[in-house]
Amino acid sequence: MSKFSAENYATVQKVVLRKSFVIHSYTIFMQDDFKSKLKIGILILLFVIIGGYTIFRTKDLIVGVRLKVSGITEYESRTDPLVTLSGNARRAVELTINGRKIFITENGDFNEKLLLLPGLNIITVQAVDKFGKSKEKIFHLNFENKSSK
């Protein structure tokens, strides 16, 4: 059996202190590492949120106006002189048909009646958004007046 001596006690105490210091230092290192990773994670999340919000708010500028027109088709021949144009001009603040301003709802819906002249009629529908971007659709309609023949 080994004798317990002051030398053995001092050696054991040094080993315990070294292990304790290493464990304590490792714990502090891990805490600092966790804190720095948490800070970086929060910064990344903040940048993602700010970037997403920026894209959400500027999508109108990027996408522009969307124009859908129904009631007529391109190069259509008609026998009825009355044409009803309807549709949607999403994100538009102004809508014109052949240069004449047309009322649009908050959703961008519109409905307008036009009277065609005999022969070829060109109908231009233009929508402008709040940034000045415009979208234009041009329709060519042929009106054949059956009653004049």
Per-residue pLDDT of the chain (149 residues; tens, 9 = 90+): 455 565 665 665 565 555 555 555 455 445 567 788 888 899 999 999 999 998 888 877 778 889 999 989 999 999 999 999 999 999 899 999 999 999 999 999 999 999 999 999 999 999 999 888 899 999 999 999 876 55
Question: Do 53 and 96 share a domain, yes or no?
Answer: no
pTM surpassing 0.75? no
CATH number of residue 137's parent domain: 2.60.40.10
Give the count of domains, the chain: 2
Residue 102: CB atoms within 10 A of its CB come to 17
Distances in whole angstroms, Cα of residue 85 to Cα of each of 48, 73, 79:
43, 10, 16
Count CA atoms closer than 13 A to 63's CA, side-chain side.
13
Whether residue 14 is found in the same domain as residue 34? yes
Instruction: Give the residue numbers spanning the domain of 43.
Output: 1-63
